[in-house]
Amino acid sequence: MSKYTDPAKDLLEYIGGSENISVVTHCVTRMRFVLKDPKKADVEKIEAIKLVKGTFTQAGQFQVIVGNEVSSFYNDFVKIAGVSDTSKDEAKEAAKQNMNWLQRMIAHLADIFTPLIPALVVGGLILGFRNVIGEIKMLDGKTMTLVESSQFWAGTNDFLWLIGEAIFHFLPVGITWAVARKMGATPILGIVLGITLVSPQLLNAYGVAGAAEVPFWDFGFAKVDMIGYQAQVIPAILAGLLLSFLELRLRKIIPSAISMIVVPFLALVPTVIISHVVLGPIGWKIGSAISSVVYSGLTSSMGWLFAAIFGFAYAPLVITGLHHMTNAIDLQLMSELGGTNLWPMIALSNIAQGSAVLAMIFINRKNEEEKQVSIPAAISCYLGVTEPAMFGINLKYGFPFLAAMIGSLVAAVISVGSNVMANSIGVGGLPGILSIQAQYMVTFAIAMVIAIVIPFLLTIVFSKSNMGKISFKRN
């Protein structure tokens, strides 16, 4: 019997039993249920389970916050409940019946980018490490980097780029695969399509601006530029959607006896042609426009206002799922500008939420039962996973969540006001400083201190106010 057996049995009982579960799945930190009768779920008893950090309902899904242990807990739960662990797509589709168009769009974006997150995190760590050894002058009176001082570090820097390039430059391969997988098309065709967008025979996207001459395919009656779409997000999404549309439609009209041969050919070849002739150039312009608007907004005279709004609102966006939109924007900024000034604010928001929990640990330091939730939640939050902290502590009391939002606002204004740029998406929270471009690390460190101190102090102040007294009495 594992440590998850008893809490899994309790959750099954309090949620209304196996007969009340339509489908169940999980994400990084949450169990996601589509219940036949949501009223049968006893929220109070579920939240009393020690392993559970909180619950909430969103767009047809009853979500139970477990934290980083969710995968192991989920495996035990489905065995005890006797439900299938192959119903993830059913859960998404069932939940989407209750979504409006915006929620559906965000859900689709989440389905595309969520499978890519592990690779993006690894890529962010690698670029962050290369940033430290190759950009920060820390030797010989701060005139030399580690890479410049040692062949070992120079070789390490070059070798790590093998992985970084595979993740970020060849990102369209992952995107077209994820789109095909999400839409129900053949994933390997998505991979092949992605490779055709980043093939070595194409002019690299980063070399287009400085190229004296752009190579082209000459069909006699027309010429098509041989341009690659390395690191481009929107061209890859559009291409993946077209491939999926063609394949799914062709499956319906072509006899099954020949579909294995005909469908892949008629879906892939036209998609590759249209992607290079139409979708690629259009998608590139759309992506450039989006990145230009975001970057211009953040660097304009009103950038502080945008930063204040984003810093204050990001944590609530996580609750709604709207934060998934930032992945596409960050990646587009990286491809167009060589970095992103949006992601540093996300890392600061994570730190602020963790700092509010840290204050609650101090306030409730004699509450041993709560510390079993709050200490792991704070650690997880400082490492970039905020859900256990937000749902387990901050939203439970209310005022710590507000304190964290205010601290995030101030830190975001300082970050944007100082033009802080990150090389890439990375691990949120405290390790996020590794992804910051070397010349901005000190400024970002100051913003990090603010994201720690302000939420901590405000949480203590709020706890002594009427807001805190009411919250403590309620809980």
Based on the domain organization, do 425 and 278 belong to the same domain? no
Give the pLDDT confidence score for residue 35 in this predicted structure: 86
Give the pLDDT confidence score for residue 86 in this predicted structure: 44
Give the pLDDT confidence score for residue 59 in this predicted structure: 61
Residue 106 tokens, joined: 């965000």
Residue 285 located in a structural domain: yes
Based on the domain organization, do 273 and 316 belong to the same domain? no
Residue 121 located in a structural domain: no
Residue type, 281: P
Residue 140 located in a structural domain: no
DSSP tag of 227: B
Based on the domain organization, do 306 and 290 belong to the same domain? no
**Positive or negative torsion for Cα 144, 146, 148, 151:** positive
Based on the domain organization, do 443 and 336 belong to the same domain? yes
Based on the domain organization, do 82 and 196 belong to the same domain? no
Based on the domain organization, do 201 and 288 belong to the same domain? yes
Phi, psi angle pair for 54, to nearest 5°: 155, 175
Residue 119 located in a structural domain: no
Based on the domain organization, do 459 and 395 belong to the same domain? yes
Residue 471 tokens, joined: 């919250």
What count of Cα atoms within 13 Å lies in the side-chain half-sphere of residue 152? Answer: 0
Active-site residue flag, 381: no
* CA end-to-end distance (rounded Å), the chain: 32
DSSP tag of 219: -
Based on the domain organization, do 193 and 230 belong to the same domain? yes
For 471, the enclosing helix (H) or strand (E) is helix 466-474
C-alpha dist (Å) from residue 281 to 43, 181, 206, 331: 50, 24, 14, 17
DSSP β-bridge partners for residue 65: 30, 54
Q: Which residue has the tokens 């400024």?
A: 443
Residue type, 304: W
CATH number at residue 34: 3.30.1360.60
Residue 114 located in a structural domain: no
Q: Which of 20, 22, 27, 319 is catalytic?
A: 27
Q: Using a CB cutoff of 8 Å and minimum separation of 24, what contacts does 139-147 make?
A: none
Residue 215 located in a structural domain: yes
Based on the domain organization, do 411 and 367 belong to the same domain? yes
H-only helix segments in 114-255: 117-135, 146-149, 151-168, 171-183, 187-198, 234-253
For strands 216-218 and 21-26, give the pairing. Answer: unpaired
Based on the domain organization, do 387 and 451 belong to the same domain? yes
Residue 150 located in a structural domain: no
- Domain containing residue 42: 5-99
Query: Rounded distance, CA 400 to CA 394, Å?
Result: 5
Q: Which of 99, 126, 148 is the C-terminal boundary of a domain? A: 99
Give the pLDDT confidence score for residue 450 in this predicted structure: 97
Query: Rounded distance, CA 33 to CA 305, Å?
Result: 38
Query: Rounded distance, CA 340 to CA 330, Å?
Result: 6
Q: Which of 73, 99, 125 is the C-terminal boundary of a domain? A: 99
Q: pLDDT digit of tens for each residue in the chain (475 aa)?
A: 678 888 999 999 999 998 888 888 887 678 888 888 888 999 889 988 888 877 877 666 788 888 778 888 988 898 888 876 544 455 555 555 555 666 667 667 777 887 888 888 888 888 888 888 888 888 888 789 899 999 999 999 999 999 988 988 899 999 999 999 888 899 999 999 999 999 989 988 777 766 778 888 988 888 888 999 988 889 999 999 999 999 999 999 999 889 888 999 999 999 999 999 999 999 989 888 888 888 888 888 889 999 999 999 998 888 766 676 787 888 888 888 888 999 999 999 999 999 999 999 999 888 877 787 788 888 888 988 787 788 778 888 889 999 999 999 999 999 999 999 998 887 788 888 888 988 899 999 999 999 999 999 999 999 988 766 566 655 5
Based on the domain organization, do 289 and 308 belong to the same domain? no
Residue 105 located in a structural domain: no
* Phi-psi category of residue 458: left, alpha or beta, with phi > 0 → left and psi -120 to 50 → alpha: alpha
**Number of domains, the chain:** 3
Q: Which of 276, 297, 318 is the C-terminal boundary of a domain? A: 297
Give the pLDDT confidence score for residue 470 in this predicted structure: 62
Query: Rounded distance, CA 433 to CA 440, Å?
Result: 9
Contact between 364 and 374 (Cβ < 8 Å): yes
Give the pLDDT confidence score for residue 87 in this predicted structure: 46
Based on the domain organization, do 314 and 448 belong to the same domain? yes
C-alpha dist (Å) from residue 285 to 79, 222, 279, 321: 49, 22, 10, 27
